[in-house]
C-alpha cells in the first residue's frame, strides 16, 4: 500500500519569547537536528492516528491532540475528502514540551502530508493558517513565531502582523542547546506572564533586547549579542518563567566560557541556549552534562 510522507523540523527561539505575544519582535532559528515525520496511508476503517501520545481513532484522541485533530478535519475538508479513511502515523525525534516547537512541527508535517496524499498544492498561506489554528487550540494565544520559523526553514526576525525578515547569521560562533529534561507547558508559561500585573516594563525591555540582537547579528558582534542574551535571561527570570534547573544550566555555561546564555522558549522547564566561540563549545557541553542537562546539541551559526 502506498504511503505518503512529509517532514518538518524543530525551532529554537534566540530572543523575544513571551514579549512576542505582546507584539514585540523576536528572532528564531530552525533546528534540523530534530524532526517530525508524518506518514499517511489509505485505511479501510476510520481516520486513525498513531503517535507517541495516542494511538487509535482520531475522533477519540485526547484533548492534548485537539489542535491536530481539528487540523486534520479542516485539511480534509479543504481537500473535499471529508469521508476519506486514512491512517496517520507520526514519528518524532523532537522532545515535546521543551521549547522546540514540537506542536507546531507536528501540525506542519501532518498538513503537508495530507496535501501531498491528495496530490494538491499547499500554499505557505494555507499552511500558516492551518498551523496557526492548531496552535491556537493548543496554546490559546500563540504569537505565530513557532509556525512561521518551522515553515520558513530559515532564521527569521518576527513581529506579529509584519512580514518576516529572513536572516543569515554567518557567524563563526556556536549555539549550544541544553535540555533541562523538565517538560514545560507553554500555555502555563504564557498564562503566568499574562497574570503578572507588572509585566509591562519587562515586555518592553525584552522587545528592545531583541532589536539589539538583530543589530548585533548584522554587525557580527558576538560579544554584545552574548551580553544581550544574559540580560534577556535576567528579565525572563524576573517575569517568573525561569527555574532553578534553567538557571543552573545558564550559569554553568557562562562559567565554562559562553559569551551569553538564556532560557529558550516558554520556560518553566525545557531548554536553554548558550552562545560561544568554537574553542569553548566542548567545555560548555561537558559543563552542561555535569550540571544535569538531559541532552545537548550544537548549532553552527556559520550555517544559519
Residue 37, C-beta contacts closer than 8 angstroms, at least 6 positions apart: 5, 6, 7, 90, 91, 92, 109
Output the smallest distance, CB 102 to ligand PMV, in A.
Answer: 8
**Per CB under 6 A, 30 contacts ligand PMV:** no
**Per CB under 6 A, 265 contacts ligand PMV:** yes
Give the distance from CA 169 to its chain's centroid: 18
DSSP secondary structure of 166-213: EE----SEEEEEEE------HHHHHHHHHH-TT-HHHHHHHHHHHHHH
N- to C-terminal Cα distance for the chain?
38
Q: Which stretch binds ligand PMV (CB under 6 A): 64-72, 138-146, 222-230, 283-291?
A: 138-146
Q: Which stretch binds ligand PMV (CB under 6 A): 66-74, 143-151, 205-213, 295-303?
A: 143-151
Q: Which stretch binds ligand PMV (CB under 6 A): 58-66, 68-76, 185-193, 216-224?
A: 185-193
Side-chain-facing half-sphere of 220: CA atoms under 13 Å: 5
Residue 140, sorted as left (phi over 0), alpha (psi -120 to 50) or beta, turns out to be left
**Judged by CB under 6 A, which of 67, 99, 132, 269 binds ligand PMV?**
99
How many residues contact ligand PMV, by CB under 6 A?
17
**Per CB under 6 A, 147 contacts ligand PMV:** no
d(C-alpha 94, C-alpha 188), whole Å? 20
d(C-alpha 216, C-alpha 251), whole Å? 22
* Residue number with CB closer to ligand PMV (186 or 252): 186
d(C-alpha 85, C-alpha 57), whole Å? 11
d(C-alpha 298, C-alpha 2), whole Å? 36
**Per CB under 6 A, 20 contacts ligand PMV:** yes
Residue 146: active-site member: yes
**Judged by CB under 6 A, which of 15, 21, 86, 284 binds ligand PMV?**
21
Residues 216-255, one symbol each (x = binds ligand PMV by CB under 6 A, - = not), give ----------------------------------------
Q: Which stretch binds ligand PMV (CB under 6 A): 84-92, 172-180, 183-191, 282-290?
A: 183-191
* Residue number with CB closer to ligand PMV (10 or 86): 10
Dump strand ranges (E) for the chain.
3-15, 26-42, 48-50, 55-57, 86-92, 155-158, 165-167, 173-179, 260-264, 271-277, 295-300
* Residue number with CB closer to ligand PMV (12 or 284): 12
**Per CB under 6 A, 190 contacts ligand PMV:** yes
- Which residue numbers are catalytic? 146
Using CB under 6 A as the criterion, which residues of the chain lie in contact with ligand PMV when the complex forms? 13, 17-18, 20-21, 99, 101, 139, 142-143, 145-146, 186, 189-190, 265-266
Amino acid at each position: 500500500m502506498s504511503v505518503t510522507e512529509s517532514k518538518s523540523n524543530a525551532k529554537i527561539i534566540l530572543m523575544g519569547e513571551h514579549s512576542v505575544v505582546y507584539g514585540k519582535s523576536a528572532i528564531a532559528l530552525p533546528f534540523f537536528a530534530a524532526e517530525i515525520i508524518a506518514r499517511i496511508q489509505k485505511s479501510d476503517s476510520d481516520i486513525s492516528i498513531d503517535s507517541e501520545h495516542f494511538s487509535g481513532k482520531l475522533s477519540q484522541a485526547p484533548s492534548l491532540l485537539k489542535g491536530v485533530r481539528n487540523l486534520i478535519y479542516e485539511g480534509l475538508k479543504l481537500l473535499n475528502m471529508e469521508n476519506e479513511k486514512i491512517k496517520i502515523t507520526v514519528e518524532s525525534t523532537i522532545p515535546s514540551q521543551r521549547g522546540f516547537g514540537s506542536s507546531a512541527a507536528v501540525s506542519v508535517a501532518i498538513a503537508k502530508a495530507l496535501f501531498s496524499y491528495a496530490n494538491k498544492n499547499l500554499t505557505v498561506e494555507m499552511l500558516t493558517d492551518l498551523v496557526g489554528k492548531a496552535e491556537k487550540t493548543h496554546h490559546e494565544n500563540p504569537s505565530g513565531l513557532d509556525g512561521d520559523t518551522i515553515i520558513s526553514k530559515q532564521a527569521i526576525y518576527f513581529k506579529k502582523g509584519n512580514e518576516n525578515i529572513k536572516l543569515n547569521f554567518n557567524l563563526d560562533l556556536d549555539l549550544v542547546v541544553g535540555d533541562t529534561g523538565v517538560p514545560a507547558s507553554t500555555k502555563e508559561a504564557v498564562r503566568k506572564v499574562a497574570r503578572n500585573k507588572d509585566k509591562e516594563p519587562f515586555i518592553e525591555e525584552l522587545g528592545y533586547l531583541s532589536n539589539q540582537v538583530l543589530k548585533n547579528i548584522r554587525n557580527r558582534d558576538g560579544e554584545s549579542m552574548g551580553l544581550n542574551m544574559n540580560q534577556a535571561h535576567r528579565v525572563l527570570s524576573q517575569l517568573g518563567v525561569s527555574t532553578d534547573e534553567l538557571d543552573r544550566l545558564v550559569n554553568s555555561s557562562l562559567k565554562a566560557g559562553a559569551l551569553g546564555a538564556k532560557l529558550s522558549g516558554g520556560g518553566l522547564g525545557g531548554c536553554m541556549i548558550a552562545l560561544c566561540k568554537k574553542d569553548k563549545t566542548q567545555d560548555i557541553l561537558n559543563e552542561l552534562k555535569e550540571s544535569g542537562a538531559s541532552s545537548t546539541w550544537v548549532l553552527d551559526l556559520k550555517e544559519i
